[in-house]
Amino acid sequence: MISMQTTEADLWIDGEWRPAASGKRFDVIDPATGEVTARVADAGEDDIDAAVTVAEEAFSDRRWLAISPLERGRILRRIAELIRQHHDELARLMTRENGMPINMARFIEIPLAADCFDFFASLVVKPQGEVLPFSVAGTAPDYMAWTVKEPIGVAGLITPWNFPLLMPTWKIAPALAAGCTMVVKPAPETPLTALKLAELCQEAGVPDGVVNVLPGRDEAGKALVRHPRVPKIAFTGETATGRHILQAAAPHIKRVTLELGGKSPNIIFADADLEQAAKSALFGVFYNSGQVCQAGSRILVERSVYETFVQLLADRANTLRMGPGMSARTDIGPVVSREQYDKVLRYIDIGRQEGAKLVAGGNARPELGGYFIEPTIFADVKPSMRIAREEIFGPVAAVIPFADEEEAVRLANDTIYGLAAAVWTNDIKRALRLARRVKSGTVWINTYQVLSPTAPFGGYKQSGLGRELGMQALEPYLETKTVICDVNDRPLTLF
């Protein structure tokens, strides 16, 4: 059983623990201390094949689909309730693996994950077909035709480390609602939370073999994407990795959905409530130490209030409390790993070298014991600078001035990404104009980072393919079958 005391964990296949075929393990590091806290089985190609075989058998014998839709919905609701019951344990497990401040885990990630299972429980009965008008030219119109929705089969779900519970939930819940079985590969930085979720699925009544969770590194992910008996891949992570997944999935024409990177614009007009906009902008870019795909890392500010707003941001950023995520007083925890720590610090150096003005933060804090970086704000950033164009995935904000609405739209859309954006203004007509003109999958007005399972989430351009959450999240896990029945006394024949 996975708990805060877990120091070793295996793969979860067919409702039981199995060691990796190779016997290999990898270390899980607490980012607040840099110390090893657990060693976890490292899945390889043989393990992925074994899990796919189990999931395929579970799909073929209909052990999940044979359960009535209403009962499947109740099982998903039981998962939601178990997440709520294990609230403190899950929060501590996530913070141990990811470094997220525990209050954010308790009051944001866990409630969202539970709500997600509740929402998709309500959609179990929704995959319905339709009766079609149908006729064949020159014949009697005595045909019946209809469509049915059927689950696609085994889904390969690959999840990142920034939200160890929520990201697996966003994929497992719709896959279960659609009737699929699955093999889940969580990020190696945060495998324990996903394994705990597998246990809760079993406890709620999901049959063995339906949800299989295999922690592993690159070999496991590549094997899952390439596997010929996995028709569906859902991935959340870096855009560069998404490109590789598309290429690897192409030989088998797999159904692929991708939720990828972002460099999201947060647009502040002079008539906005600047105090509230500043608070929200800091949450938008520094939540989870900036390790959020939709982070508002480009803060675009109307020139007439630019200096005032930059000072507001800097003053507030300097009050944020850094420390280990287990402390309820912590606002900013560590970044997830040494690799991420080094990457973010390189970008801060790049910002300095490019000539941006550092107005807050900019330093590592090794004396805190782990991978801590101060919340960092660069002002006077030019749109051509790398810190304004490349996804940093850390606590770094680039503040850019604009002259008018036209320039704000141009700057907002001047990116390969299109995941999210926000507009701050008291002019409702302007807000709605920008919501229409900014090319992003989500546009917030006078808010940031608020999400609900009922609202589709995903990106334009190189921020991804398809949508997670909302009704649209079910479709990638379903096939549409057309059934045509000839009820004429004399069936059509040409011979």
Rg (CA), the chain: 24
Contact 301, 268 (CB under 8 A): yes
Is 259 assigned a catalytic role? Answer: yes
Q: What are phi and psi of 115, to 5 degrees?
A: -60, -35
The CB-side HSE value for 3 (13 A sphere, CA atoms) comes to 2
Cα 31 to chain center, whole Å?
20
For residue 303, what are the contacts with CB-CB under 8 A and spacing of at least 6?
401, 402, 403
377 to 139, 188, 352, 387, 399: CA distances (angstroms): 72, 30, 11, 11, 7
DSSP strand pairing (298-302 vs 396-402): parallel
Q: Kindly provide the residue ranges of all beta strands, DSSP E only, lying in 76-187, ordered along the sequence.
A: 131-132, 143-151, 154-158, 181-185
- Give the active site residue among 259, 302, 374, 468: 259
Angle at 75 between CA 71 and CA 81, to 5 degrees: 140
DSSP-based helix, strand, coil % in the chain, nearest 5: 40, 20, 40
CA distance 162 to 236: 10
Question: Smallest Cα–Cα separation from 40: which of 24, 59, 51?
Answer: 24
Sheet holding 357-360, edge to edge: 357-360, 376-379, 396-402, 298-302, 265-268, 420-424, 442-445
Q: In which element (H, E) is residue 40 found? A: strand 35-41
The CB-side HSE value for 128 (13 A sphere, CA atoms) comes to 6
**SS3 call for 414:** coil
Catalytic annotation, residues: 259
